Amino acid sequence: MLIFELSRKGRRNPSQAPHAAPGLNAIPDDYRRTSRPLLPEVSELDAVRHYTNLSRKNFSIDTQFYPLGSCTMKYNPRVNEAVARTEGLMWIHPYQPDALSQGAFAILAELERALAEITGMDAVTLQPAAGAHGELTGILLVRAFLEAQGNARKKVIVPDSAHGTNPASVRMAGYEVVNVASNDRGMLDAEALARMVDEDVAAIMITNPNTLGVFEEHITEVARILHSKGALVYMDGANMNALAGISRPGDYGVDLMHLNLHKTFSTPHGGGGPGSGPVAVKRSLEPFLPLPRLRHASSGWSWNYDRPQSIGRVRAFYGNFGVLVRALAYIMAHGGEGMRRATLDALLNANYLRKLLEPHYEIAYHAPSMHECVFRHASNGAIAKRLIDYGFHPYTVSFPLIVHGAMMIEPTETESKQELDLFADALISIAEEVKENPELVSTAPHSTRTTKVDEVAAARKPILKWSR
C-alpha cells in the first residue's frame, strides 16, 4: 500500500505542527509556494507503521544471506559505522580551514598508506567515488603518462572475462577497445595476447581474479608482454576480497589498479551508493594523480595544488569521506593477519560451496575457484526465483556473459558453515524440483508479496510513466 492511500484529508500530526521557518520572511514572494504541496496527510503513527512495515519487506544482510557474486554483499561490523559517526568526523565540512582538518587529513594519509601496502603500490588517490570512476581515472592516468612520453597510443585490450564497465571506461578515455577471449580454463590466453600487443596498445585492463572467480595464473607473463611493448597493466581490483593479505598486484607487474572500498573494505554496498574507488599506482605514475595531493610539513598537513602533470580533479573535494573512514576502521580492526584470515575464509567458503554443489550443477570452468564459483544451468533464472521461497537472496544471474546460463555464487568470508549448508541444501532441493516438478520452479517465487512477473511483457510494454 502506498502512503498516499493511507492519507485522509485533514489528518495531522500534532507533535509536529507547522510553524514558521527561521528566515522565512527573507524569501522573496516569487519563490514562495502559492498552494500546499501534494503530500500525504497522515498521523505520526500511520507514518511509523507504514515505513516499519516497508522495511520488514526488504531483504537485508542483517536478516538473510546474500550469495550475490561480484558485489561482495557481506556483513560489515557495526563498529565501523560507529567510527564514521564520530561527532568530529560526521559533521566535518570540506570548506573548513586546514588547521581544523588535521585529524581528517591524518585519516586520509593513513588510509593511502595502508592501501598502498595492501596492493604493493607506491601511491594512492582517494578521489574517485566508485569502481567505474576509478577505472576511468586509471585510464586517464595511462593516457597522461603515455602522452608525456610523446605518444598516447590508440588501443586498450579488455578480456572477455572483465567487468562490463571496463570497455565503457576505455571509450570515455578516448581509446579503442580490443577484445581478447579466455581459454578453456577461463583464463587469459597469453599466446593469443602476445600476437595482439603492438606499439598502438596503451594498456590492458585485466580483472584478477576475473569475473569467473578464476585467478589469472599467467599474470606475470601478461605483464612482461605488455611492458615489452611499452604498454601498461591496469588491474580491476573489484575482486580484491580474494587477494587482500595474501597477494599484492604490484608484486607481479601491475602498474595501476582501482579498489572498491564499498565492497572489500566495509561500507555496505547497495542502493546505488555511497561508494569509493581509490586508484593505486606505481611511482612512475604518481606525478599524474588527481590534484590536490596531501603533503606534510612541520606546520602539519595541507593540500598541494602545484602538480603540473596532474590529470586534474576527478571529483569535487576529496572522495566520499565517510566511506574512507569506514575503510580505515575496517583495516585497523583486522590488522595484517586479520585481513589475511578474512581472505582465506572467503576462499574456503566459496570452495566449500563448490564441492557441495558440483554433483548437482555443472561448474563453468574446472580451474580452481577463488572467492566465488560460477555454475551453468539452463533454468538459472527460474532457480534464482525459487531460491527466494527458501529464504535466500538469489545469486547473480546470467553473468559473466561468456557463460550461458551463469549462476555466480559468492559467499564471502562472513558466512558460517551452518548457513552455507542450508544454502547448499536449498539449491540441491531445487535441482531435484527441476527434474520432478519443473512447474513449481518455473512459476516461482510463491511466498513473496509480488509473485512471478511477466518478464516478456515488461520488456516489450514497459510502463514508463506513473499517474494517479
Q: State pLDDT tens for residues 347-379.
A: 999 999 999 999 999 999 999 999 999 999 999
pLDDT band at 218 (very low <50, low <70, confident <90, very high): very high
Distance from C-alpha of 371 to C-alpha of 72, rounded to nearest angstrom = 9
Average pLDDT over residues 323-345: 95
Structurally, how many domains does the chain consist of? 2
Residue 162 lies in a domain: yes
pLDDT of residue 262: 86
pLDDT of residue 72: 63
pTM of the model: 0.89
Beta-sheet pairing, 362-363 with 300-304: unpaired
Q: What is the DSSP letter of 21?
A: P
pLDDT of residue 20: 59
Whose CA is closest to 371, among 347, 354, 348, 351? 347
Average pLDDT over residues 390-407: 93
Q: Find cell 603533503 and name the residue.
A: 295
Decide: residue 140, CB within 10 A, 0-12 exposed, 13-18 middle, 19+ buried.
buried
CATH of the domain at 437: 3.90.1150.10
Average pLDDT, the chain: 92
Residue 327 lies in a domain: yes
Residue 56 lies in a domain: no
Which set of grid coordinates corresponds to residue 346? 572467503
Average pLDDT over residues 398-403: 92
398: Cα within 13 Å, side-chain hemisphere:
4
Q: What is the DSSP letter of 68?
A: B
- Amino acid of residue 156: V
pLDDT of residue 108: 97
The segment with the largest mean pLDDT, out of 14-28, 179-193, 255-269, 302-316, is: 302-316
Looking at the fold, whether 276 and 391 belong to one and the same domain comes out as: no
- Amino acid of residue 45: L
What residues make up the domain containing 353?
Answer: 335-451
Looking at the fold, whether 116 and 149 belong to one and the same domain comes out as: yes
pLDDT of residue 174: 96
pLDDT band at 135 (very low <50, low <70, confident <90, very high): very high
| pLDDT at 26 exceeding the cut of 80 | no
pLDDT of residue 305: 96
State which of 273, 299, 332 marks the end of a domain: 332
Looking at the fold, whether 260 and 114 belong to one and the same domain comes out as: yes
| pLDDT at 15 exceeding the cut of 80 | no
Residue 282 lies in a domain: yes
pLDDT of residue 19: 59
Looking at the fold, whether 305 and 426 belong to one and the same domain comes out as: no
- Whether a cis peptide bond, with omega within 30° of 0, leads into 274 is yes
| pLDDT at 445 exceeding the cut of 80 | yes
| pLDDT at 71 exceeding the cut of 70 | no
CATH of the domain at 205: 3.40.640.10
Buried b (16+ CB within 10 A) or exposed e, 354-393: bebbeebbeebbebebbbbbbbebebbbbbbbbbbbbebb
- Whether a cis peptide bond, with omega within 30° of 0, leads into 400 is yes
Residue 321 lies in a domain: yes
pLDDT of residue 70: 56
| pLDDT at 162 exceeding the cut of 80 | yes
- Amino acid of residue 393: H
Looking at the fold, whether 195 and 109 belong to one and the same domain comes out as: yes
Other beta carbons within 10 Å of 437: 10
pLDDT of residue 319: 87
Looking at the fold, whether 326 and 380 belong to one and the same domain comes out as: no
Looking at the fold, whether 300 and 157 belong to one and the same domain comes out as: yes
Distance from C-alpha of 280 to C-alpha of 259, rounded to nearest angstrom = 8
Q: Find cell 536478516 and name the residue.
A: 63
pLDDT of residue 452: 87
Looking at the fold, whether 288 and 139 belong to one and the same domain comes out as: yes
State which of 317, 332, 347 marks the end of a domain: 332
Which set of grid coordinates corresponds to residue 114? 595502508
Distance from C-alpha of 244 to C-alpha of 74, rounded to nearest angstrom = 15
Q: What is the DSSP letter of 63?
A: T
State which of 305, 332, 359 marks the end of a domain: 332
Bridge partners of residue 258, in order along the sequence: 236, 279
pLDDT of residue 344: 97
Looking at the fold, whether 362 and 292 belong to one and the same domain comes out as: no
What tens digit of pLDDT does each residue of 275-311 get? 899 999 999 999 999 999 999 999 999 999 999 999 9
pLDDT of residue 56: 83
| pLDDT at 467 exceeding the cut of 60 | no
Residue 292 lies in a domain: yes
pLDDT band at 21 (very low <50, low <70, confident <90, very high): low
pLDDT of residue 63: 82
Query: What number of helices (H) and strands (E) belong to the chain?
Result: 15, 13
Average pLDDT over residues 312-326: 92
Looking at the fold, whether 100 and 238 belong to one and the same domain comes out as: yes
Looking at the fold, whether 190 and 270 belong to one and the same domain comes out as: yes
| Residue 252 CB partners (closer than 8 Å, separation 6+) | 219, 220, 223
pLDDT of residue 466: 58
pLDDT band at 55 (very low <50, low <70, confident <90, very high): confident
pLDDT band at 464 (very low <50, low <70, confident <90, very high): confident
Residue 27 lies in a domain: no
Looking at the fold, whether 316 and 231 belong to one and the same domain comes out as: yes
What tens digit of pLDDT does each residue of 372-385 get? 999 999 999 999 99
Residue 396 lies in a domain: yes
Distance from C-alpha of 119 to C-alpha of 142, rounded to nearest angstrom = 18
| pLDDT at 23 exceeding the cut of 70 | no
